[in-house]
Amino acid sequence: MFGFPKKNGEAPVAEDRNPSWTARLKAGLAKTRGQLGSLFRHGRIDDDLLEELETTLLMADCGVDATQWLLDELKARVKRDKLDTADQLRGALVELLSGLLAPLEQTLDLSTHQPFIIMIAGVNGAGKTTSIGKLAKHFQKQGKSVLLAAGDTFRAAAREQLAEWGRRNDVTVIAQESGDPAAVIFDAINAAKARRIDVVLADTAGRLPTQLNLMDEIAKVRRVIQKAEPSGPHEVILVLDANVGQNAIAQVKAFDKAAGVTGLVVTKLDGTAKGGVLAAIARQCPKPIRYIGVGEGIDDLQPFRTAEFVDALFEGAPQ
């Protein structure tokens, strides 16, 4: 395992982190790991190996910027440390990737406000509403009370889905049949204050960055939250589907401009060959990755840990 010393004040690993999660993460990243693992069967470092590594990193959606940075750093280390075997190159890559991703590992601290207001955004199909249900369960396991705001008033199925998560987790859901999403969230925040709820999870309608009117609307939702609670929102989470690869970069930049993204949830890592997109995010639009998801189960969303992720990418490669 590749580990880092605990940072001062860093929260301990969640209690529900168990071998089954580690196994699911490794299984989910098997395609990306397979691409990387096949490289290090070469005996020696040569131009062919470095060229193959470049192609593999690009195919894993590391992006041009992160791929070039990793290659430049690797070549410098090969020269400086006189590396000559594929295994040594692998070790250097693990170290560089770990260092690149480590700043994105930041635990979400819910203790700073009550209620702690989390606004959730994302494109259609990213797994936004499902992620809200999983986050509600995760926060409940931490002993927090949770309230859900069904701010996606455009899609009836979203309200119904959120209501089902509420029933499943025994969590109150504030919803309206139709109307202004900002008004629903405003009411939810006031209800949370009255009931002394710890966490408000506010859903918003899925939208594409190119839908400028809807991007303007999400900015309005943020302003209305600030009217209900001047210190809020305390977190703006963008939910990203890992399978979109480099499109994730454009999404982060657009939603950040509209709503001020403070953290990411990366879903659907199970089965993707694009696990390298986290490296692209780290280089081009670094935002804390709060949680990653590898399945549909209630516990298949867990806090992002660099050491776990990198280990899952490389375990099984020749050592």
How much is the average pLDDT of 153-173?
Answer: 86
| Extended strands (E) in the chain | 116-122, 146-149, 172-174, 199-202, 235-241, 263-267, 289-293, 301-303
Strands 199-202 and 263-267: unpaired
- Could you please state the CATH topology (level 3) that the domain comprising 19-104 is classified under: Four Helix Bundle (Hemerythrin (Met), subunit A) (1.20.120)
pLDDT digits (tens, 9 = 90+) for 24-76: 888 888 888 887 777 887 688 999 999 999 999 998 889 999 999 999 999 99
Structure token pair of residue 82? 């006189």
- Would you state the pLDDT for residue 273? 63
Q: Which CATH class is domain 110-304?
A: alpha beta
* Two structure tokens written together for 257: 């401009």
Task: Mean pLDDT check: name the lowest of 130-144, 194-208, 264-278.
Answer: 264-278
Instruction: Provide the residue ranges of all domains of the chain, joining segments of one domain with +.
Output: 19-104, 110-304
How many residues does the structure list for the chain?
319
Contact 150, 184 (CB under 8 A): yes
- CA dist., res. 90 & res. 272, Å (int): 21
| Whole-number average pLDDT of the chain | 87
Predicted pLDDT at 165? 86
Say how far apart CA 234 and CA 192 lie, in whole Å. 14
**DSSP one-letter string for 22-39:** HHHHHHHTHHHHHHHHGG
The stretch 71-95 carries a mean pLDDT of 95
Residue linked to tokens 């940075």: 69
pTM of this structure: 0.89
Residue 21, H or E segment: helix 19-28
Per-residue pLDDT, 8: 37
**Are the CB atoms for 274 and 140 separated by under 8 Å?**
no
pLDDT for res 98:
97
